[in-house]
Amino acid sequence: MNQIERIHDELTKRFPNLAMNLDRPANEKHPWFLFVHRGEGIPHVAIEWRPDRGFGISTPGEDDYGEGADEIYPNAKTATERAIDLIETGSRSMSPEVVGLAELRQRQGLSQVELAARMGVKQSNLSLIESRGDVMVSTLAKMAAAMGGELSIQVRFPSGAEQKIAIAKG
């Protein structure tokens, strides 16, 4: 049993009343897909697995097919946890669109005052950070941590190859 089949089994046990389709590829080099149908009027959860790349998750609307995954996860555990969260909450996956720091904060449901307090800075300082065009990596890492996230920096090469860059923890 491979990783996406394990996810299918776990989700089937946890949500026995939901319809799920597991699409096996004809060629082992092609991706596997698991579709979890959450109910009428709620976009399904689509999980794509590529053994050499990990898992992609999205909650596509009618016009979103062929767009690729919204969220990427390196392993079955984190992909399963996210799928469970999406199923239980009925929420949508997060689009990979580029957003500014203020919008990122707002999407996490935080005001400037709340995030500034978590970061240990004044609200006026956070306002300046959000409006700057050039922010230090350490400041971005601190902001991400204060929102419950972790900063990750990645380089994409012309060949399509991508490589994450390690960020030293100060």
Alpha carbons 53 and 68: distance in angstroms, whole number:
13
Please determine, for residue 128, whether its predicted confidence score (pLDDT) is greater than 60: yes
Output the pLDDT for position 104.
Answer: 86
Q: Does 60 share its domain with 116?
A: no
Residue 95 lies in a domain: no
Q: Does 38 share its domain with 108?
A: no
Residue 19 lies in a domain: yes
Element (H, E) at 33: strand 32-37
DSSP string, 45-92: EEEEEETTTEEEEE---TT-TTS--SEEESSHHHHHHHHHHHHHH--P
For the ranges 14-18, 39-43, 130-134, the one whose mean pLDDT is highest: 14-18
Mean pLDDT of the chain: 89
Residue that finishes a domain, picked among 89, 122, 152? 89
Residue 34 lies in a domain: yes
Only one residue has tokens 């990427």, namely: 72
Output the pLDDT for position 96.
Answer: 67
Q: How many domains does the chain have?
A: 2
CB 36 within 8 A of CB 23: no
138-143 mean pLDDT: 94
Output the pLDDT for position 66.
Answer: 62
Instruction: Enumerate the β-bridge partners of residue 162.
Output: 156
Of residues 31, 61, 34, 38, the one with CA closest to residue 47: 34
Please determine, for residue 114, whether its predicted confidence score (pLDDT) is greater than 80: yes
Only one residue has tokens 């394990």, namely: 6
Alpha carbons 54 and 39: distance in angstroms, whole number:
27
Residue 38 lies in a domain: yes
The rounded percent of the chain whose pLDDT value lies above 90 is 55
DSSP string, 141-159: HHHHHHTT----EEEE-TT
Residue that finishes a domain, picked among 29, 61, 89? 89
Q: Does 84 share its domain with 8?
A: yes
115-133 mean pLDDT: 95
Q: Does 77 share its domain with 17?
A: yes
38-61 mean pLDDT: 89
Only one residue has tokens 């959000």, namely: 130
Q: Domain range spanning residue 112?
A: 101-165
The rounded percent of the chain whose pLDDT value lies above 70 is 94
Q: What is the pTM of this model?
A: 0.60
Expressed in percent and rounded to 5, the helix, strand and coil fractions of the chain are: 35, 20, 45
Residue 75 lies in a domain: yes
